[in-house]
Amino acid sequence: MKKSKKSIIKLEPSVKEHIWGGTKLKEKYDKKSNNKIISETWELSAHKDGPSIIASGKYKGVKFNEYISIMGHEILGSKSERYTDLPILIKFIDTADDLSVQVHPDDEYALKYEKDYGKNEIWYVVDCESDSYLYCGFSKDISKDEIRQRISDGTLLEVLNKVPVFKGQNIFIKTGTVHAIGKGLLICEIQQSSNVTYRLFDYNRIDKNGEKRPLHIDKALDVIDCKKFEIDQINKDEPTTAEKSLDYQKLIECEYFSVERYSIQDHIELYGKKDSFISIVVTEGEGSIYAEGEKLDFKSTDCFLIPAGESKIEIIGKCTFLKVHL
């Protein structure tokens, strides 16, 4: 069977509702949901727990994992050959309340016990309230016995680093690092394609069914890094507010993903390669994207995939976006 021409595609997210979610993604960014609250939108996802949907072109309405099967795994590029599926998941997170204190396992542990990948992730702060914060790592070396005791007596937050945040900040969360996102944040998260989270503490909250959400203390302690987290590694340099024709920053380049931030006032040309697909995630502004002879308009929080291959990508508009690839 002859495969269709590879082309740029716009994606529609899989929408998630959690106890801590807010209303910004629905009311401000026009994400579709029958629920009032949206906690997460999985913008680029082939994960079984929430594949995104093709929103443009011939395959509009098709689940993204099915689209990959139709078009062939080569659209993801040669760097993805060691994976059976798309190895990256991109989401937006809207926090009207604090997330649980949690940790993610590495690949070895997750594949053995969860039949899923581990979860390294990077957060990019799209927007935040003036007093927003998050927790990242322990403020001292700590024993697992002390962690258990502090979970029991409700004092776990006392030994975590509380980090004030600002718009445009990025923070890499390595597997094993205890963390919690605070309320009042809109975050773009780029992560390994995984849905494995181990909760240590959830503020004794009651969900809509009148139940406390389950904790995963034993598994969390199996994978947690008990050493003091070096807070100096967190980026504290606020992006410039000056209007330059191009403001560029490489946020991270690791074995799991690479993320670059671009802020443009007019237009920019980027170039695709055979070794990886490119995802463009718009975090602010509006405009148009041209690739493979096609034009698609965009607004903030839109997400696109350009298949692997030699190609020119032109982005026109006044906007900030993240370029994500392997």
Q: How does residue 21 score in pLDDT terms, banded at 50, 70 and 90?
A: very high
**Mean pLDDT rounded to a whole number for the chain:** 94
Average pLDDT over residues 65-79: 95
Q: How many CB atoms lie within 10 A of CB 281?
A: 27
Mean pLDDT of 243-253: 88
Residue 255 has which token pair? Answer: 């074995």
- The stretch 178-202 carries a mean pLDDT of 98
Q: Please determine, for residue 3, whether its predicted confidence score (pLDDT) is greater than 60.
A: no
Cα atoms in the 13 Å half-sphere on the side-chain side of 189: 25
Nearest-angstrom CA–CA distance, 4 and 9: 13
By the 10 Å C-beta count (0-12 exposed, 13-18 middle, 19+ buried), 36 is classed as exposed
**How confident is residue 60, by pLDDT bands cut at 50, 70 and 90?**
very high
Q: How far apart are CA 102 and CA 177, in angstroms?
A: 8
* Binding positions: 104, 121, 179
CB 147 within 8 A of CB 224: yes
Question: What secondary structure does DSSP assign to 170-217, as a single string?
Answer: EEEE-TT--EEE-SSEEEEEEEES----EEEE-TT-B-TTS-BPPP-H
Query: Which domains can be identified in the chain, with CATH numbers?
Result: 9-233 (2.60.120.10), 246-325 (2.60.120.10)
Let me know if 111 is exposed, middle or buried by CB neighbors in 10 A (0-12, 13-18, 19+): middle
Question: pLDDT band at 69, cuts 50/70/90?
Answer: very high
> Known binding site for Zn(2+): residues?
104, 121, 179
pLDDT bracket for residue 244 (50, 70, 90): confident
What pLDDT, on a 0 to 100 scale, did the predictor assign at position 209? 86
Active site residues: 199
Residues 6 or more apart in contact with residue 100 via CB below 8 angstroms: 180, 199, 200, 201, 202, 203, 213
Q: Is a pLDDT exceeding 90 seen at residue 308?
A: yes
C-alpha to C-alpha distance for 126 and 131, rounded to whole angstroms: 15
